[in-house]
Structure 1
Amino acid sequence: MRIFIRFCILFITIGIQAQGTISGNFSPAKDFKWLIAYELTPNGERYSKDTAVKDGAFSLEMPITAQAGMYRLVYAVPQDEFYIDVIYDKKEHVKFNFDLQDGLTITNSVENKWYNEYFSKITVAQDRLLEYYELGKESRKEYMAILNELKTLQATYEENHVNTIAHKFIKANRSYIPSDFENLETFLKNKKQHHFDHLAIKDPLLQSSNFLTDKFSSYVFSALPVNITTKEQLVSEVIKNLKVTAEKIVNTPLGFQVRSFHQLWKIAGANGIAEVQDYIFKNHLKKAALANKNQKLVDEIEMASRLRKGAVSPNITWEAKGKKQSLLTMEPAANYLLVFWSSTCSHCLKELPALHKELEDYENLKVIAVGLEDDAVNWKKVSATLPSFNHAIALGKWESDYAKTFGIQSTPTYFILDSEKRFLSKPESDKEVVEQLEN
């Protein structure tokens, strides 16, 4: 009898712990082959399960150890671009359809429907308020109607979806809503002042998703005075916002800090604000990454900073006619072209002679060709057939200092520099080199 009772208890326990599934359909089916599920945590992604996508369909039976929370479903590379985030609460079976053109449609999961429906509706209402200001409207009745819609939406979703994962995001997303009419300047000032009021930055669930990092980005790059007219002013105001944000996350998990600052660093780069990138890396991101034992990220950012558009190229040296030559001290030219190649690379042996011929008439261009080689024997023979190029050699090939400094992962690799030896572009082929030099 005791054995029977224990068996029943065990059976009931297993039944209670039984895990759900995440399944769905992708379209067009031919573009999807596999899917990897990661649990999102404050310190980053944690692998959960993977599966094949067959004829556009997949089904993931989640592991018994899977925790309730946000999950990232990666379906292509690079993984930080091609993914879908869903809530998995260990109760519902999550199903969805995903179309490359039409996006995501939840077909089964009340919680995910609530989550997506709320953010869709509140975004539309917030856009209406911004549009009111942008169009210079004056109707107080319309203004108050927009405020009432925002308040009603927020209150309704907060009240109806308590004790769900979605509720935490809905509540944290509560933003500033005026109680009466405010002009644009006053509204923006108050919106900025109250930006962090409800964000619940210490909540591990919120730290795990993109929600907080997106909120930080919005504050740092959008909560700005309306009268900015110079880049110097922009940089100054963005850095002020960065300092406020950094204070808010100082005691959060290191992995979360790294993700937050890295996101801000990338957005600054996308907007061409190198000064802000350098500030973030020097004052926050590098320290957090090293403390989190992420030397790889530090190396990647340092390399990206070296090679970004507008940065002066690292130096390259070589010998010609018994004298030491240098990129940074060579005679002036309108442009400089750096070519990283190898005498054992078939693409190089095809492209470089063609490029050499195409550039024969370019009088105000200097070409420095760096051979990534295991030895100098073949390099000497091939480089001699390209006499108008300046030739440097990097023994050690992929492990050479030049390969690491310039981040060379394949040959040939090209960089075009301006007259001050600053990076202008990174053409993909010899034909692109010629096209860009002509434009």
Structure 2
Amino acid sequence: MKKLLILFLLISSFAQAQYSVKGNIHPPKKYTWVLLYKVEGARQLFVKNTQIKQEVKQVDGKNITIGTFEFELPADTKTGSYRITYDLQQNGFVDFLFNKENVELSFNPGDVEGTTVFSTSKENQLYKRFLNDIALAQYQVDSLQVAYLKNPSTNSENAYNNALSNVRKVQSSYTKNAQGTLAYHFIKATDRYNSPTIAKSSQEYLDGVISHFFDKIDFSNSQLYNSSFLIDRIADYVFYMNYSNNAEKQQQLYKKAVDVAIGKVTDITFKADVIEFLTSQFSALKNVDLVDYLLANHFNKLPKDKQNLEFKKRIEEAMAIAIGRIAPDFSWTENGKEMSLSQLKGGQSYLLIFYSTECGHCLREIPQIYDFMKDKTKTKVIAFAMETSDTAWKNYIKNLSGWHHPLGLGKWENKIARTYQVNSTPTYFVLGMDKKIIANPEKIEDLKVILGSLN
């Protein structure tokens, strides 16, 4: 009997030590699953997933449909920052802190930041209140600074000083009251720099914010590291704090910003993650110069065991056909003669078309382009045919005299087509005299505009 009682107590203790994360989504739209991740550095570690249940509840006398979900977490779940992802395609997610307590939240997926409410969880309630209060106080400071720059006055200066005093008061109060909590680390690191006196010019204001942007952020803090906080701040600094209308100046600002941000990171694993993150962002922007800069000046200088060579290969492949790159070379036989793209001469520009005689869109557009190009003598055309056999192709090109006609057997698996990342046909590349890619238009109308400007 005594053994059974001890066993019962152990089971009861274990059951009580579990934690739950509950959520309500309104409106639930088409969402059916949510995934739970633990955020560590720039990475997300999958924890578990669960289905979203549709429930009808009465609110203010009206029946509304909400989506509900729940995760059960074991007693030994690590504290830190977690992410609930409800929309993988649109990157829809909501972050929260877990510190050995139940968490219950609700949000509208159309405005997660503005609508998320934590009905359970002292940690998240505290941090949410802080973010709301400090944002309101900071808004007053920023508004007065903007007003002064538009119309300098002593009244604005005095009001600025009072508003600045309030920001410091809010920051100090929350920092003090949050001692011993997980939220404390994030509250402390959110302490933003404000000029002690109102800035007399826009440049003075920006210089102050940029030069002091990372002052209160401890990059060695494990709680900040194991969250999205540091990555978000780095992204803000690189992409939003450093801006110029001049394209050349903007590139210089980007390079200086990534140097500063990466230089702040002390953990070598996290540094590698940050470099990959920034490289991916600039790759998505098709910014060849910055991708090359990051790879040469930061990625390649990482210790060999921290260099993700698969990542580097994917980036280099993605950027191989970016505007500004020399088009990847390839060769073919034409009238018994070996030809290659890099050695082609006679054109002030070149049009490279990937098409197939099995493609209905191609059969409509290729004749249009051929007619359009008859008087465009400055541009030479290379029509790369992606085919499963050469039978139809041999007859088709008889009506396209004057063009170069490489044949790529294997169609979608053709090596050249894959190098150029051709996922649909026709695909167009416009090259300069030096074979640099200057345009990659999707529509034939846009292609005609570009070719018309070159001829």
User: Which residue number corresponds to residue 115 of structure 1?
Assistant: 127
Q: Does 1:200 align with 2:211?
A: no
Structure 1 residue 201 displacement after superposition: 1.2
Residue type of the alignment partner of 1:71: Y
Residue type of the alignment partner of 1:141: N
Residue number among 134, 138, 143 corresponding to 2:160 in the alignment? 143
Change (3 A) 1:190 1:361: closer
Aligned to 1:216, the other structure's residue is in SS state helix
CA contact (8 A) 2:326 2:435 kept: yes
- Percent sequence identity over matched residues? 25
Structure 1 residue 43 displacement after superposition: 5.7
Change (3 A) 1:315 1:18: same
User: How many residues in Structure 1 have an aligned counterpart in Structure 2?
Assistant: 433
CA contact (8 A) 1:258 1:289 kept: no
Change (3 A) 1:426 1:53: farther
The CA RMSD over aligned residues, in Å, is 3.6
User: Which residue number corresponds to residue 289 of structure 2?
Assistant: 275
1:18-417 aligned within 5 A: 18-27=18-27, 29-42=28-41, 44-55=43-54, 57-64=67-74, 66-78=77-89, 81-100=91-110, 104-107=114-117, 108-110=119-121, 111-135=123-147, 136=149, 137-138=152-153, 139-181=156-198, 183-184=200-201, 188-220=206-238, 234-252=250-268, 254=269, 256-266=270-280, 268=282, 274-286=288-300, 288=302, 291-292=305-306, 294-333=308-347, 335-345=349-359, 347-349=361-363, 351-353=365-367, 355-357=369-371, 359-360=373-374, 362-417=376-431
CA contact (8 A) 2:350 2:380 kept: yes
CA contact (8 A) 1:352 1:430 kept: no
Deviates more, 1:301-310 or 1:120-129: 120-129
Query: d(CA) in 1 for partners of 2:140 and 2:287?
Result: 30
Query: d(CA) in 2 for partners of 1:312 and 1:208?
Result: 40
CA contact (8 A) 2:96 2:124 kept: yes
**So what's the TM-score if we normalise by structure 2?**
0.80
Query: d(CA) in 2 for partners of 1:37 and 1:382?
Result: 54
CA contact (8 A) 2:430 2:437 kept: yes
Deviations 1:1-28 (A, max 9, x none): 441243133223322331202322143x
Residue type of the alignment partner of 2:25: N
Q: Does 1:15 align with 2:32?
A: no
Residue type of the alignment partner of 1:204: S
Name which one, 1 or 2, has greater alpha-carbon Rg: 2
Aligned to 2:115, the other structure's residue is in SS state strand
Query: d(CA) in 1 for partners of 2:100 and 2:366?
Result: 58
Query: d(CA) in 1 for partners of 2:214 and 2:432?
Result: 44
Aligned to 1:40, the other structure's residue is in SS state strand
Structure 1 residue 281 displacement after superposition: 1.7
Structure 1 residue 212 displacement after superposition: 0.8
Structure 1 residue 144 displacement after superposition: 0.3
Structure 1 outlier segments of 4+, above 6 Å: none
Query: d(CA) in 2 for partners of 1:320 and 1:241?
Result: 49
Change (3 A) 1:377 1:97: same
Query: d(CA) in 1 for partners of 2:228 and 2:362?
Result: 42
Change (3 A) 1:360 1:209: farther
Aligned to 2:353, the other structure's residue is in SS state strand
Change (3 A) 1:415 1:272: closer
Query: d(CA) in 2 for partners of 1:182 and 1:104?
Result: 30
Aligned to 1:83, the other structure's residue is in SS state strand
Deviations 1:272-298 (A, max 9, x none): 864333211212235559734633321
Change (3 A) 1:43 1:271: closer
CA contact (8 A) 2:41 2:273 kept: no
